[in-house]
Amino acid sequence: MTLIATDVPSPSPEDDRGRQRRRRGGLAGFAVRRLLTGIGTMAFVLVFNFFLFRLLPGDPIALYTRGRNTDREQIAALRRALNKPIGEQFVNYLKNPFSSGVDSTQFSRPVWDVIGDYVWPTLVLLGTATVLSAVIGIAIGIKGGWRRGSTFDRTSTAATLTLYAMPEFWLGMVLLILFSTGVGVFPGVFPSGGTLTPGLDPWSVDGILDQAWHLCLPATTLTLAYLAEYALVMRSSLVDELGQDYLMTARAKGLMDRLVRRRHAVPNALLPTITLVFLNIGFVVSGAITVETVFSWPGLGLLSYQAIRGPDVPLLQAIFLLFSLSVVAANLVADVVVAAVDPRVRT
Which architecture does CATH list for 114-346?
Orthogonal Bundle (1.10)
**CB within 8 Å of 265: residues ≥ 6 apart:** 146, 238, 241, 242, 247
- Each domain of the chain, given as residue ranges in start order, spans 114-346
Q: How far is CA 288 from the centre of its chain?
A: 10
Return contacts of 25-32, CB within 8 angstroms, 24+ apart: 26/343, 26/346, 27/336, 27/339, 27/340, 27/343, 27/346, 29/346, 30/335, 30/336, 30/339, 30/345, 30/346, 31/336, 31/339
311: cis peptide before it, omega within 30°? yes
125 half-sphere exposure, CB direction, 13 A CA radius: 33
Measuring CA to CA, how many Å separate 297 from each of 165, 225, 290, 344?
23, 17, 10, 42
- Tens place of pLDDT per residue across the chain (347 aa): 444 444 445 555 555 555 555 554 578 888 888 889 988 988 888 888 888 877 766 666 666 666 566 667 766 776 666 667 777 778 877 777 877 667 777 787 888 888 888 888 888 898 898 889 989 999 999 888 888 888 998 999 999 889 888 888 899 899 998 888 888 778 778 888 888 888 888 888 888 898 899 999 999 998 998 888 899 888 888 888 877 777 777 777 777 777 778 777 888 888 888 878 877 776 666 557 888 888 988 888 888 888 888 777 788 888 888 888 888 888 888 888 888 877 777 76
**CB within 8 Å of 32: residues ≥ 6 apart:** none
Q: Which amino acid is at 249?
A: T
Residue 58 DSSP one-character state? S
